[in-house]
Structure 1
Amino acid sequence: MSEHHPSGKTPGHTGHPGELIAVDEDMWMDVIHKMDEVYSDLLQYEVALEEKNAKLEESQQFILSVLTSMSDIMVVCDRNGQIEDVNRSLVDFCGREAADLRGRPIYDLFADELSHDRARELLGSFGQQAVHDCELPLRSSDGSAVPVSLNCTPRFSSVGKSLGMVITGRPVGELRKAYRALRQAHEDLKRTQQQLLHSEKMASLGRLVAGVAHELNNPISFVLGNVHALRRYAERLECYLAAVHRGESREALEELRGELRIDRILADLPPLIEGTIEGAERTRDIVDGLKRFSAIDRDENRPFDLTEVVERAVRWVCKAARENFRVNIDLPAELPLTGSAGQMQQVVMNLVQNAWDATAELAEPRLDIAAEIGDGRVQLRFHDNGPGLAPEILDRIFDPFFTTKPVGMGTGLGLAISYGIVERHGGRLSVANAPEGGALFTVDLPLLAPTRGA
């Protein structure tokens, strides 16, 4: 007897073909969700693919624009020396279209058999070694041989496999023309730089003419007055000696001696002569200082006293400055340094001049110069009572040609030159706004080491 199933179907029966048994609604929902996820992923992949295609087209357009705009000729070769691509400059140079050049040997571009052989010798190992600045003649569009400076660089795949070589070049005539233009521009720049430096030095000297003239006037006037006195004394002595030689009587000579005040002249001669010598030496020192300043371009490396340089620079500037411009100097008796006294004098004069300009609108302009010594160095501080410097100016104050003065009133080179001079002396020039107001320039310099046994 056969066994019957409660449903009336025998075990193992699956119903009609294609009919799913025991598939409930949850399972269908899972299938639908999976399909939605797959569809969403496909959409994302498609969007990403379109973005990559757009970027690829943009990169291709960029590379094409670069190759088209290149003035140098360019050839891309495979490992066998066959031309794969060229840029527009090569097409214009040789007068042949890119399609005609592709697939042809690179050696067809050279002008003659000798250049062919030379090219095969240099480029025979395509993709193996680079070639730099190789001059070979190529045949131009008019059939002439034009020397071209070539540079060859191997190219590789992403896995390091050799693909061939990229060859770039420029006609030598253009290179020589460019070199000549560059050399001329360099010479013009050097000439202009020298003229600007000379102009700045002359401007500094021009500002000091009145001060130096006043400085020279005092000792020269003193010497001149003494010389006039000496001439009067000489006339009296000559008159007295003439009477002596005539054999005048003793009484007559005594009377003449008193009348001509010979004793007073003899007593006055030593200090008069000493004063004249002192005035002449003072004039010599001023002229010597001016001569050193006018020769600041000369590199010197000799000991000098910075205190003396500061005092002389302040004196020269202040002689030409306003009478109410007061400079207070608080320095040690000596500050021994090594270098160029003339160059350091220019630095000090520039800083004093800038302080004078910065305090021009004040009723009582003032500049304080003080020094602090430590660790074998001296910090020379120039603190004025002006309005100070704007924050945006502080970072540019030492830039060449930067100036806050009106057009025609300054070259903008004074502080830039001063900065370089201080650096050449192993120091540093800095600027800040003082907490109590005004600008504060600091010159940090190494002091001359004392000699042993001193």
Structure 2
Amino acid sequence: MTGERRDRPDNILALTGSGLETELTDNQESVWRDVVKRVDEVYSDLLRYEADLESKNAELEEAQSFISSVIASVSDILVVCDENGLVLQANPAFVALLGQAEAELVGRPLLDLVGAPDHDEARRHLCAGARGDAGARATDCELHFLTARGPSDVMAINFSGRFDHSGRCVGSVLTGRPIGELRRAYQALHGAHLELQKAQRKLIEQEKMASLGRLVAGVAHELNNPISFVYGNVHVLDRYRKTLADYFAEEERLDAGEGGELRRKYRVDSILADLEPLIEGTLEGAKRISEIVKNLRRISFNRTQEAHRIDVERILTTATQWAARAKKNHARIDVEVAPGLAVWGNEGQIHQIVVNLIDNALDAVRGRKHQQIEVRAALSGGEVEIVVADNGAGIADAAFDKMFEPFFTTKTVGEGTGLGLWISYAIAREHGGSIAAVNREHGGAQFTLRLPVGG
């Protein structure tokens, strides 16, 4: 029995051990199956992630290629800098501008590529971008870059801050284009516009002058007839006056009695005495009207004399003497003429222009303590330039646009007709020249007559 008890446990243990081994084997297989399954899932995920990564990488490369092609095709320069102002990237337009390879530019300070006069301007914009100022996200300036051929043309540069995902400024982006050609084109356009405006004003002025000329010429023609009547009648009246004076003188000698009483009663002597100044005054008025009419008729400017070479020194000397004698003032007139100057035209008309200009200058210095007039002539720009300057009060601003218009005058009534400058202007234009007026820096006015050089 004892032996049986000993064998039973062994059998039981043997049976129990075999079952446990079978159970452990089943668990291991289950675990391995789970492990293999997880490995398969992980491998599948890895394959899927790899495919997704390759797809994303292809998309990224495509996007990078697209961005690079766009940057390369942009004609404006583009430079990317870090927060220290070092170049990180430059597009082909900037590389071509500087004439250096991109590899030579990357890592260099941007200020080394900018012209010395523009260093402060570039540094200010770079520092503003590095600070990340809200107002510095986009700023504009003008810079010159150092190229292989020297400083570049002026370029309009836009500085923009470059920010990371957290909003921190990590550098600047520069874009720009040359504006020198554009500026020159704008200046040329502006100059052409000013010339067009000047030509338009001149055309309007010429048309206005021509219309006024036709009107005035007609009026002058109509005035000639009554003036001729006044002239004729005044001369006849003067002869009658002389005849009556001789008659009464003879009668007084023959009959000193009753005749003398009648002469005193009817104031014959006083009337005869008044007749002479009245006739002289009427004749003087008629002469003045006649001169005005002659000036008005000059609007047609039909040359009665053939143009010829005129000695400028001689005509200026003569005109100065004439004007000085007519005004009888004590102004000092300095005449300075370059030797050998000559113009081509009608000597009488050129003489009239110079006399008018000197006459106006003499009126302008009237009442001044030190009256001084300068008359100069020299060759300038292929033309003879005659300058008449005074130390008077100068020309009022309101008179500049009207001084060459007919009947405009700043003189008091009876001193001027307002025709002198108008006629002078028209004569100068008829001779292919011009008249211009300016105020002198130290006071007074200056009139400049320009005429073609004589042969």
**Normalized against structure 1, the TM-score is what?**
0.35
**Greater fraction helix:** 2
Question: Given the two structures, how large is their TM-score scaled by the length of structure 2?
Answer: 0.35
